[in-house]
Amino acid sequence: MIDFHTHILPVEIINNLEKYIQKDTTIKALFKNPNSKFSTAEFLCEKMNEQHINQSVVLGMGWSDSGLNSFVNDYILDSAKNSLGKLIPFTGINPPDLKSGINEALRCIESGSKGFGEIHCDFQNFNITDKHLMAPYMEILEQYKFPIVIHASEPVGHLYAGKGLTTPEKLVKTIEDFPNNNFVLSHWGGGLFFYELMPEISRSLKNVFYDCSASPFLYDNKIFEIAINILDSTKILFGSDFPLMEPSRISNEIEKLSIDKKQLDNIYWKNAINILSQSNV
């Protein structure tokens, strides 16, 4: 099984949260609640063993502070190198950083990054529909056939820490701007998959995958069957959002449903392998 959506942080940040909350608006928004959950790479690997997850994609969280972004990127890359293939590193980008942001992205690719994200445009204070701003990153990704993971927001419903405003309307604009890139939209794309029932939208979104991270916090369990029906199981990725949610919480939900083995294999690992094996490095 492959979990396409997990987050890890170095002990230095977990132990000195107050200091980092002052530095970075994303940390502040996500972790000011004293009950927030954290995971180091070691803790994630223990959970993976316990819950029979073979590989996890470890993502950034959309840091707004460039120093913090590089620091966590190094941690993600080093942890992946030491994990004997269990952790797949995706590194954070910070487009408002202009030239130095692009240099950081290139540095990460050279150090083994397999994709960018999770980006969180609202925390990072940039407009994802700004084609000019996004283009350098999308060109790097296209060159290596690496995906970008974008935090997507439901345009309706309850607010939660980090919900944001990256709604389906904005996502479609960005995806149409970069038709040759692979996209992974977190949290069911904020509901965007429903609009794949429109033929022109489904054509535009042919390179888009959706992860089900944090799904039980957002949707009724029926969403898995509905999404398979609308999209086909080949566009859905198993993702938890660990440590926010344990992978088993989501797999337990899925296994209550009558989803056949072939579709489950697609969601649990085959689609992930498909995306990750497209890369030409």
Which is nearest to 183 in space by CA: 275, 271, 88? 275
CB-nearer residue toward Zn ion: 59 or 275: 59
186 near Zn ion, judged by CB under 5 A: yes
Least distance CB 198 / Zn ion (angstroms): 25
Residue 151 or 170 having the CB closest to Zn ion? 151
In this structure, the number of other CB atoms found within 10 A of the CB of residue 21 comes to 17
3 state SS for 242-273: ECCCCHHHHHHHHHCCCCCHHHHHHHHHHHHH
When CB distances to Zn ion are compared, the closest residue is 151
Query: Per CB under 5 A, does 240 bind Zn ion?
Result: no
Contact between residue 200 and residue 166 where contact means Cβ atoms under 8 Å apart: no
In angstroms, give the least distance from the CB of 10 to Zn ion.
20
User: Is 193:210 a contact under the CB 8 Å cutoff?
Assistant: yes
Name the phi and psi angles at 76, rounded to 5. -60, -45
Kindly identify the residues of this chain, within the stretch 57-86, that bind Zn ion according to CB under 5 A. none
Nearer to Zn ion, 86 or 187 (CB): 187
Q: Which helix (H) or strand (E) holds 44?
A: helix 41-50
Task: Tell me phi and psi for residue 87, to 5 degrees.
Answer: -110, 135
Under rule CB under 5 A, which residues in 131-160 are in contact with Zn ion? Answer: 151
Number of residues this chain uses to bind Zn ion (CB under 5 A): 2
Range in contact with Zn ion (rule: CB under 5 A) among 124-132, 134-142, 180-188, 219-227 = 180-188
CA distances from 6 to 47, 143, 214 (A): 11, 25, 11
The verdict on 235 binding Zn ion (CB under 5 A) reads no
Q: What is the rounded CA–CA span in Å between residue 76 and residue 57?
A: 10
Q: Which helix (H) or strand (E) covers residue 152, if one does?
A: none
Smallest distance, Zn ion to C-beta of residue 214, A: 7
| Region from 76-84, 134-142, 182-190, 256-264 binding Zn ion, contact rule CB under 5 A | 182-190
Closer by beta carbon to Zn ion, 151 or else 263: 151
Taking contact as CB under 5 A, which single stretch among the options 45-53, 65-73, 185-193, 222-230 is the one that binds Zn ion? 185-193
Residue whose CB is less far from Zn ion, 186 or 215: 186
Binding site for Zn ion (CB under 5 A): 151, 186
